[in-house]
Amino acid sequence: MTLTLGDGPLAARSPDTVNYRINGPTHRLFWHAFPRRIRALFADQLVLDSGNASLLHESNLLPQLYVPRADVRADLLEASTHTTHCPFKGDAAYESIRVGDRVAENAVWSYPRPIDSAAWLTGHVAVYWDAMDAWFDEDEEVFGHVRDPFHRVDARPTSRDVRVLAGNVEIATSRRALVVSETGLPNRYYLPKEDVRVEHLVPSATHTICPYKGTAAYCSLQVDGAVIKDAAWLYPEPLPDACRLAGRLCFLAEGVRTLVDGVELD
């Protein structure tokens, strides 16, 4: 994510605040070795197991994991007639994964004859993340997508004055927030529940997964008879690298304003 989105050097538009220009296509590819063992399970079967995976960093896309074909269970693959074309990589061929009665259709793709500028794709395959039941980075199960080695999440305590407003109603005020700086995203401020008027919070059924922070639970806001859906989220049981966020609330929704030292965040 660091390299390919926003103002990263491999995004379609480089930032103005650099002293270089990339002499190459606007749409950029960077093939980079993934440093650890990766495994995927489907229907209790180990579909792939590789210590030689690579990440393809591609402009404006999340990094995509590829593994050598030899590291995928060939006996679980079925040929498919489905194909797609990418002007930057070539023609992709697809295969399905079958284990007993369960089938993940067109879950695997490869470029048997990639274009010359992407020749390193030869002999490698990719698998749709959501088509598998579980993924493991070494022995830790990972969710959402594989973690990008160039992506960071830093959480720091701050004594700055943080206020959250919904209309003219003050929802929270704190001088003990955590400011979270995540690659490619604006700073977010996570507040302790003790500094939030929790009587305005309504639990939501919405959950999202972040491979760097964990599974987020959402709350809506009820203010002056109106409901602002999924206006806040928290990580009840964050991943170890984000343990400082446990139970803290962050607010972001239309109609909700966060002010830091009196300045409204974008």
Query: Tokens for 207?
Result: 């959950």
Question: What pLDDT is recorded for position 27?
Answer: 86
How many angstroms separate the CA atoms of 188 and 195, rounded? 16
Question: What pLDDT is recorded for position 107?
Answer: 98
- Residue 177 sits in the same domain as residue 219: yes
Domain count, the chain: 2
Divide the 266 residues of the chain into consecutive groups of 10 and give the mean pLDDT of each group: 73 75 82 95 97 94 95 96 96 97 97 95 97 96 90 95 95 97 92 97 96 96 94 96 95 96 92
Side chain identity at residue 132, one-letter code: M
- For 159-209, how does the pLDDT look when each residue is reduced to its tens digit (9 = 90+)? 999 999 998 999 999 999 999 999 888 999 999 999 999 999 999 999 999
- Residue 116 sits in the same domain as residue 34: yes
- Residue 136 sits in the same domain as residue 188: no
Question: What pLDDT is recorded for position 1?
Answer: 54
Question: What pLDDT is recorded for position 8?
Answer: 76
In a domain, 11, yes or no: no
Domain boundary among 142, 171, 198: 142
CATH number of the domain where residue 229 is located: 2.170.150.40
In a domain, 148, yes or no: no
Are the beta carbons of 126 and 69 closer than 8 angstroms? no
- Residue 96 sits in the same domain as residue 187: no
Are the beta carbons of 52 and 71 closer than 8 angstroms? yes
Q: What angle do CA 180, 140, 105 make, to 5 degrees?
A: 100
- Residue 135 sits in the same domain as residue 157: no
Q: 210 lies in which domain range?
A: 153-264
Among residues 226, 232, 218, the alpha carbon closest in space to that of 171 is found at: 232
Query: What's the pTM?
Result: 0.84
How many angstroms separate the CA atoms of 262 and 10, rounded? 35
Q: How many CA atoms lie within 13 A of 9 on its CB side?
A: 9
